[in-house]
């Protein structure tokens, strides 16, 4: 414990004694993490957008004949018991007619002369979020097929396939771009730390010459890297939050709303914490890589 | 006791900096290592404090083979060595007190022990009024005295000094030699590399002469 306190004090003292180097390292981590924070924000908001889109994933089960109120209640509660199902709504032929009319808009006059019950009654079934995918939909459809009263089941296969392909692409792009950004951040941070350590190579040499063990020499520098990284992480959260408040929320909001995002969100607390931890890890790994090359006793 | 057997160091294939050196240095000895530039003086000292690894041969300190030790064990051996360099190797961002305290910190000594030993060591070299100064605020001679205080603060078994007076004027050289003599009188083995023949004449001690990496003379006084 005494040793740990000593290492901690020395890491802080090192930072105080070389304010310029310390500022350089913290700023580099900060810049790298601000970029990463914006990337995370984009991913988060696209996820939000796809979550909105996924509400479109519904199963429409068309009935041969309209049902009376009791039968509707019975069937609804039976479908609601499916583990994948979130909500069930019965749409009578008249309701279907009204919706169709609304959708036709100016062309609604083509319905003139048609009876208001010519469309089939149906159940509109929406799914819980984690089942809004092909396998979830197929499970529900499979169960519904056993009910002979349904003569047609529709779930927008083509749309679902495109949606899933988009999600897969987004996840892959997220992983590749995120990985690339993280790697670039590590590269930049590690090089900055190497420069700061290079400026202190004499100190490292003297430490070794007066009998410092590799652990004794490296630990304060690793701790220093981690502390600088964490400080860079905290600053990155603060800066990206200010930027979010000033620019994204005010100026870009209307653009984003037009593209279907209800409102744009900042990183939740857990993501903010993850950013600070990422900063600490970047500093730690950056110091570790640099020390490996500089401290050869 | 330092024992050196068939010690050879080559930095390049056909040019050995040190060739087949064998010698013994008893505990408490004061030894000059002399010779022209490129004779191998610094190489020998670097091998003794394990900053370099020999190409061939063995170095034993108190019977323990330095050439077969890992970095952690070498660190423990260095804690019994005091090393003084021609370019001082002080840490410019630390005060004089902190520089001298450094070897004791490395050894994990308690704070009160560090304070009293460091003060004694700095007082011994006559710089107690400059405890809070930084190396670059001192003259060359003063910086070397700080480096000597740092080497002596641990009461080393062996003090290795590589051209410690190389850049200093004659008066300061005298002061520094007195410090080395004092340490030797307290039982520290001294190994001092120099090409200053005048100094050897004024303070005659055992002198090892190297030339082109070979021991050409081992003169006792």
Residues B16-60 have pLDDT tens digits of 899 999 999 999 999 999 999 889 999 999 999 999 999 999 999
Q: What angle do CA B77, A221, B89 make, to 5 degrees?
A: 55
A173: its two tokens: 């792009």
Which of B71, B78, B93 is facing A210, going by the closest CB pair?
B78
Residues A78-88, mean pLDDT to the nearest whole number: 88
> Is residue A227 within 8 angstroms of chain B, CB to CB?
no
> Is residue B51 within 8 angstroms of chain A, CB to CB?
yes
The DSSP result for B69-111, as a single string, is --HHHHHHHHTTEEEE-TT----TTS-HHHHHHHHHHHTT--H
Of the two residues A67 and B34, the one the predictor is more confident about is B34
> Is residue B30 within 8 angstroms of chain A, CB to CB?
no
Beta bridge partners of B218: B208
What number of other Cβ atoms are within 10 A of residue B91's Cβ? 20
Separation of alpha carbons B70 and B62, rounded Å = 17
Substitution target in A206, A215, A216 with the highest count of B β-carbons within 10 Å is A206
A85 phi/psi in degrees, rounded to 5: -90, 135
> Is residue B145 within 8 angstroms of chain A, CB to CB?
no
Cβ contact, residue pair A297, B150, below 8 Å: no
Quote the minimal CA–CA distance from A203 to chain B in Å.
6
Cβ contact, residue pair A211, B103, below 8 Å: yes
Give residues with Cβ within 8 angstroms of A254, minimum separation 6. Answer: none
Which chain A residues are closer than 8 Å to B107 by Cβ?
Answer: 211
Of the two residues A18 and A93, the one the predictor is more confident about is A93
Distances in whole angstroms, Cα of residue B102 to Cα of each of A42, A211, B95, B107, B150:
50, 10, 11, 9, 8
Contact B21, B44 (CB under 8 A): yes
Separation of alpha carbons A249 and A246, rounded Å = 7
> Is residue B109 within 8 angstroms of chain A, CB to CB?
no
> Is residue A177 within 8 angstroms of chain B, CB to CB?
no
Across chain B, mean pLDDT equals 91
Contact A225, A190 (CB under 8 A): no
Q: Is the pLDDT of residue B129 over 90?
A: yes
Candidates A147, A143, A154, A70; CA nearest to A120 is: A154
Which chain B residues are closer than 8 Å to A7 by Cβ?
Answer: none
- The count of residues in chain B is 221
Cβ contact, residue pair A206, B91, below 8 Å: yes
> Is residue B37 within 8 angstroms of chain A, CB to CB?
no
Separation of alpha carbons B27 and A159, rounded Å = 89
What number of other Cβ atoms are within 10 A of residue B139's Cβ? 11
Candidates A216, A209, A264, A221; CA nearest to A240 is: A264
> Is residue B27 within 8 angstroms of chain A, CB to CB?
no
**pLDDT of res. A255:** 65
Quote the minimal CA–CA distance from B54 to chain A in Å.
14
User: How many Cβ pairs closer than 8 A exist between chain A and B?
Assistant: 56
Which of B79, B89, B102 is facing A202, going by the closest CB pair?
B89
Which of A3, A200, A206 is facing B102, going by the closest CB pair?
A206
Cβ contact, residue pair B71, A214, below 8 Å: yes
Q: Is the pLDDT of residue A297 over 60?
A: no
What is the set of domains in chain A, with CATH numbers? 2-52+163-294 (no CATH), 58-154 (3.30.70.3040)
**pLDDT of res. A80:** 87
**pLDDT of res. A254:** 67
Q: Is the pLDDT of residue B190 over 90?
A: yes
> Is residue B49 within 8 angstroms of chain A, CB to CB?
yes
Separation of alpha carbons A31 and A243, rounded Å = 13
* Strands of B15-25's sheet in order across: B15-25, B2-12, B56-61, B64-65
Separation of alpha carbons B40 and A250, rounded Å = 72
Separation of alpha carbons B64 and B50, rounded Å = 13
Which chain A residues are closer than 8 Å to B52 by Cβ?
Answer: none
Residues A111-136, mean pLDDT to the nearest whole number: 83
Residues A209-238, mean pLDDT to the nearest whole number: 91
Separation of alpha carbons A193 and A184, rounded Å = 14
What is the set of domains in chain B, with CATH numbers? 19-219 (3.40.50.300)
Which of B51, B79, B89 is facing A211, going by the closest CB pair?
B79
Of the two residues A158 and A288, the one the predictor is more confident about is A288
Cβ contact, residue pair B102, A207, below 8 Å: yes
- What's the ipTM? 0.86
Which of B72, B94, B107 is facing A214, going by the closest CB pair?
B72
Cβ contact, residue pair B49, A209, below 8 Å: yes
Nearest CA in chain A to B134: A17
Which of A17, A18, A213 is facing B72, going by the closest CB pair?
A213
**In the structure, what pLDDT confidence band is assigned to residue B188 with cuts at 50, 70 and 90?**
very high
> Is residue A8 within 8 angstroms of chain B, CB to CB?
no
A65: its two tokens: 């004949």
Cβ contact, residue pair A211, B107, below 8 Å: yes
Q: H-helix or E-strand containing A262?
A: none
Least confident of A14-18, A171-175, A282-286, B55-59: A14-18
């Amino acid at each position: 414990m005494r040793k740990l306190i000593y290492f901690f004090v020395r890491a802080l003292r090192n930072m105080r004694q070389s304010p310029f180097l310390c500022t350089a390292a913290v700023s580099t981590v900060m810049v790298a993490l601000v970029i990463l924070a914006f990337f995370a924000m984009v991913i988060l908001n696209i996820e939000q957008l796809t979550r909105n889109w996924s509400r479109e994933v519904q199963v429409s089960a068309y009935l041969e004949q309209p049902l009376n109120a009791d039968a509707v209640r019975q069937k609804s509660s039976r479908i609601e018991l499916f583990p994948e199902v979130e909500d069930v709504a019965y749409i009578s032929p008249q309701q279907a007619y009204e919706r169709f009319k609304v959708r036709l808009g100016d062309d609604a006059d083509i319905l003139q002369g048609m009876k208001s019950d010519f469309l089939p009654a149906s159940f509109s079934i929406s799914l819980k979020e984690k089942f809004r995918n092909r396998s979830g939909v197929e499970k529900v459809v499979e169960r519904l097929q056993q009910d002979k009263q349904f003569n047609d089941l529709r779930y927008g296969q083509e749309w679902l396939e495109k949606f899933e392909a988009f999600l897969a692409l987004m996840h892959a792009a997220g992983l590749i771009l995120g990985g690339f950004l993280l790697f670039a951040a590590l590269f930049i941070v590690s090089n900055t730390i190497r420069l700061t350590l290079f400026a202190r190579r004499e100190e490292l040499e003297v430490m070794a010459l007066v009998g410092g063990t590799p652990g004794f020499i490296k630990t304060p520098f690793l701790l220093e890297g981690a502390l600088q990284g964490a400080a860079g992480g905290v600053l990155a959260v603060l800066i990206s939050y200010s930027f979010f408040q000033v620019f994204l929320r005010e100026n870009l909001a209307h653009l984003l709303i037009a593209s279907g995002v209800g409102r744009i969100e900042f990183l939740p607390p857990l993501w903010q914490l993850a950013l600070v931890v990422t900063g600490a890890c970047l500093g730690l790994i950056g110091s570790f890589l640099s020390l490996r090359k500089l401290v050869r006793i | 006791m330092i024992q050196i057997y068939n010690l050879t160091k080559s930095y390049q294939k056909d040019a050995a900096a040190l060739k087949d050196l064998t010698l013994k240095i008893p505990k408490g000895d004061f030894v000059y290592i002399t010779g022209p530039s490129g004779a191998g003086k610094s190489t020998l000292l670097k091998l003794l404090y394990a900053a370099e690894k020999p190409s061939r041969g063995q170095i034993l300190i108190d019977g323990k083979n330095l050439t077969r030790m890992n970095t952690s064990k070498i660190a423990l051996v260095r804690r019994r060595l005091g090393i003084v360099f021609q370019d001082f190797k002080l840490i410019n961002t630390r005060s004089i007190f902190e520089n001298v305290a450094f070897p004791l910190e490395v050894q994990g000594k308690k704070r009160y022990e560090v304070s009293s030993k460091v003060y004694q060591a700095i007082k011994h070299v006559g710089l107690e009024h400059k405890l809070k100064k930084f190396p670059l605020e001192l003259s060359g001679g003063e910086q070397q005295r700080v480096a000597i205080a740092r080497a002596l603060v641990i009461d080393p078994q062996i003090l290795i000094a590589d051209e410690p007076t190389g850049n200093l004027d004659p008066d300061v050289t005298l002061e520094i030699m007195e410090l080395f003599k004092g340490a030797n009188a307290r039982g520290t083995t001294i190994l001092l590399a120099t090409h200053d023949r005048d100094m050897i004449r004024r303070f005659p001690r055992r002198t090892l002469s190297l030339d082109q990496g070979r021991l050409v003379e081992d003169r006792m006084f």
